[in-house]
Structure 1
């Protein structure tokens, strides 16, 4: 494929565009010095400028691992301990999948956010629960908040996809502030996950798709980058062909999916999300926890919140989906919500 590498002039021109505001003009010399440092990092491909030895517990203790990846790994392991703590509250992760909010161009909150808040209030009525809200609308409204696209390492070899993802940050390319290192622990510590998303052009929203793509490493991903000496595709292929265990890092969590649209596509989006979560070995709760509905069907967008206000049935259904998830989590933690077929061998592990 054609090389994406930039020459020095083009790289520095792009770097300086970050300082487009005329208020920076008094600092042009300082910006030029920073551009030179950034160019050197880019030219030398200094993806992870600060590393330390992997140490005990890794395939190659002498391999230099990014300290940022190690911090992400530690956060995931701490979240796993919280997930397994039987004395801790039941943890529900609620995800608002809409990018719309009153804090940016649309000028008003999304219906998805309202439905997530309804679910939050509903679960709050049950004792023994801790609820975390992941508001993906912040990708569009919060400074520096990003989820970078998946690079599809898994498609080269399973072992090349690290858990948690090691593709980012990449300091040489300016790919920093990736949100996924904060999002992975939220999924890991959760006993139940509820996604509420609108339909965007027959698909789930852009934020949800970005997040789901980057969760690929949770399903068969390699927890030891030293095994592949970082991103060495040859070593990764050897590891996969030698027999890969496909660790299911989120296996056994329960889920609920709510998809709402205004014209078409809601059922297809629900199917896609449910299938993706099932493929990752998360468990279905049942029909009550999986919902697709149209709010203000073929009605003006300007009155869509009024349509939601008037639709008491969909409000009840969303609350019921939240309650069904909470009930299933309680039973799972008490040992009475079994995964049917869990002991059966999977002939097609990925």
Structure 2
């Protein structure tokens, strides 16, 4: 076992109340997903499945299927399948980013609104996505769209919250995130292992989002928090034998290099609102992207505007129809981002100070 005491690492603090459920409470909660009367003829089968799920929970079988990490890891005997597959997807995306002759742009739709679920109407954010997409396509870029509204509208789409491993020790936050899936807790179908490669493969990222209560939307914030591992995260979970907090503390205290896995990618941010908060959200998103060492494409690529200012929500799409200036500003943001991406490829894009080393890490 790792000799963390000799390496001067403090012992992790404990004392919070346990969230563990007893067998009765677990089975009652697990059974709630079978509330539809159509499941009633299958009650005996469901009872057997529930018993297996209880045993997995009781025994904390987070990753029941494993294989050895193998050559190239600090501990070649470390077992984990889910993380290895996610890592391989990121490595493929990295090669795609390096070898692609065309500029690759990721457009993120941060709105949860969709006509395919309760709101019954598309979002204005998605309309902006389509406006920008046409500019990128016309300019010869490869475009990928990450539509976060699918969290609210598509079966089985989930982004689980960040567990804040980084705050225990930088080395405990793995790149890509190894907190999920956690089969013993039923935390499966996490979308992030598909999202990480999208960001890695991109040369440029455009985020388009509305304001929700003076803040970024909940789907967007979930993704942002889970991208913490892209900024200083540990690319080798075997070095901490998974989530051994004491080992991670020792590694950080020996001197952590804070690898910036998305550094150098260009970005654009477009934030729109109906009444208040657009400027603050645009600024906070831009600050976040700069903090992970992504690079602003230029002033025209960062935009905060209002549609139908203090007018009825029911007519907001009509207001956008009439606001041709705003539509053109979105096109200009896309043109700016694409021009910056092309200039970066040609070696003519200059971001003053980019080569300087920050004296303070995260």
Q: Same fold (TM over 0.5)?
A: yes
What TM-score, normalized to structure 1? Answer: 0.98
Deviation string 1:85-105 (CA, Å, 9 cap, x unpaired) is 1x5321000011000000000
**Correspondence list, 1:233-248, <5 A:** 233-248=245-260
**CA distance, structure 2, for counterparts of residue 315 and residue 37 of structure 1:** 54
**Which residue matches 2:5?**
none
**CA distance, structure 1, for counterparts of residue 355 and residue 144 of structure 2:** 31
Answering whether residue 84 of structure 2 is matched by residue 70 of structure 1, we say yes
Answering whether residue 93 of structure 2 is matched by residue 79 of structure 1, we say yes
**Which residue matches 2:8?**
none
Deviation string 1:311-337 (CA, Å, 9 cap, x unpaired) is 011100001001100000000011111
**Which residue matches 2:196?**
184
Deviation string 1:120-141 (CA, Å, 9 cap, x unpaired) is 01111112x1000110000000
* Matched residues, number: 347
Instruction: Decide which of 92, 103, 106 is 1:93's aligned counterpart.
Output: 106
Give 1:340 deviation, angstroms.
2.0
**Which residue matches 2:64?**
49
**CA distance, structure 2, for counterparts of residue 8 and residue 88 of structure 1:** 56
**Which residue matches 1:196?**
208
**CA distance, structure 1, for counterparts of residue 177 and residue 348 of structure 2:** 34
Query: Secondary structure at the residue paired with 1:93?
Result: strand
**CA distance, structure 2, for counterparts of residue 270 and residue 342 of structure 1:** 22
**CA distance, structure 2, for counterparts of residue 122 and residue 61 of structure 1:** 47
**Which residue matches 1:6?**
21
What TM-score, normalized to structure 2? Answer: 0.95
Instruction: Decide which of 224, 227, 247 is 2:239's aligned counterpart.
Output: 227
**Which residue matches 1:107?**
120
**Which residue matches 2:135?**
122
State the superposition RMSD in angstroms: 0.7
Give 1:255 deviation, angstroms.
0.2
**CA distance, structure 2, for counterparts of residue 252 and residue 10 of structure 1:** 49
**Which residue matches 1:35?**
50
Query: Secondary structure at the residue paired with 2:255?
Result: coil
Instruction: Decide which of 163, 174, 181 is 1:151's aligned counterpart.
Output: 163
**Which residue matches 1:251?**
263
**CA distance, structure 1, for counterparts of residue 350 and residue 261 of structure 2:** 18
**Which residue matches 1:326?**
338
Deviation string 1:76-121 (CA, Å, 9 cap, x unpaired) is 0000001011x53210000110000000000000000000010001
**CA distance, structure 1, for counterparts of residue 166 and residue 109 of structure 2:** 27
**CA distance, structure 2, for counterparts of residue 346 and residue 176 of structure 1:** 38
Give 1:185 deviation, angstroms.
0.2
**CA distance, structure 1, for counterparts of residue 355 and residue 221 of structure 2:** 31
Superposition misfits of 4+ residues, deviation over 3 angstroms: none
**CA distance, structure 2, for counterparts of residue 253 and residue 38 of structure 1:** 42
Give 1:339 deviation, angstroms.
3.1
